[in-house]
Amino acid sequence: HAESSFTGDVGQANQRNHNIDLLFRPSESWAFGAGHHYDILGIEQLEPQSNGHVHTVFFPLHRISKSGNNGFRFSLAPALAASSNVVKDPGAYSADAFQLLGALVWTRNLSNRTTLRFGVCGDHRFGGFELYPSISVEWQPHVDWTIGLGFPTTRVVYRASKTFDSSLQVTPDGNEWHVRDKGMEKQSQLIYEASLVEWAFRWKASKRIAISASVGRQFDNRYELTLLDDRRVQLSSGSVMRSGAVLDWRF
């Protein structure tokens, strides 16, 4: 995303995200996979303990059950979330670098056009780990439109054709990482949280390949981190534009 200034004019921040996700579904009831999210949090005019290169490596497992129009999904994902120098050195791993993410969500079809989803989730999308309720009502007023109102994510999808659709979503965007300084002597937790409004366009180029592009506004950006001089600081930055691209391949 573009560069934004911290409140109080104490520095600037910018961000880049590179994600790879693999998901295998050997049956209708089970799915499993692996993911690697590499984030670069550039912080200028300040000296954080970490250089801002942080990784999240996770291994999700999903149990899906359906009975008629109803069902549930149970998901569990152990994760390693840490700075680059920690990830490269298994001897530096500690309990602070590991996360356990989970979700249990039920689905109930209220009518031919309305679906209720409710459950509980535990993850770091709000920055530090939180256990929170998840609920949404998905309404399809027309075959080309799907409106999902809920918490923590609200999304509207328009299918213009069999090969093209567009979506608008509001969702939290955050995480927490265990970081160490260059000499591996100091360690702390780096917490980031924000809210995101994003508009995406998806083109299904073939039966197996889809390409997406997005543009959004990231706001309420907040950082909690430790500086090299051991000061723990909380920083806020202004709203900022962001853009993205995604390649999906079904094989």
DSSP secondary structure of 27-44: SSSEEEEEEEEEEEEEEE
Burial of 27 (0-12, 13-18, 19+ CB in 10 A): exposed
Sequence-ordered list of residues with C-beta below 8 angstroms from that of 157, at least 6 positions apart, any chain: 145, 146, 148, 165, 166, 167
| 215, pLDDT greater than 90 | yes
Q: What does the alpha-carbon distance between residue 154 and residue 135 come to, in Å, rounded to a whole number?
A: 10
pTM: 0.93
CB atoms within 10 A of CB 1: 20
pLDDT at 75: 98
Q: What does the alpha-carbon distance between residue 139 and residue 137 come to, in Å, rounded to a whole number?
A: 6
Q: What does the alpha-carbon distance between residue 94 and residue 89 come to, in Å, rounded to a whole number?
A: 11
Residue type, 149: L
pLDDT in tens, 163-206: 999 999 999 999 999 999 999 999 999 999 999 999 999 999 99
Bridge partners (DSSP) listed for residue 65? 72
Assess contact for 81 and 204: CB atoms under 8 A: no
pLDDT at 67: 83
The secondary structure element, H or E, covering residue 125 is none
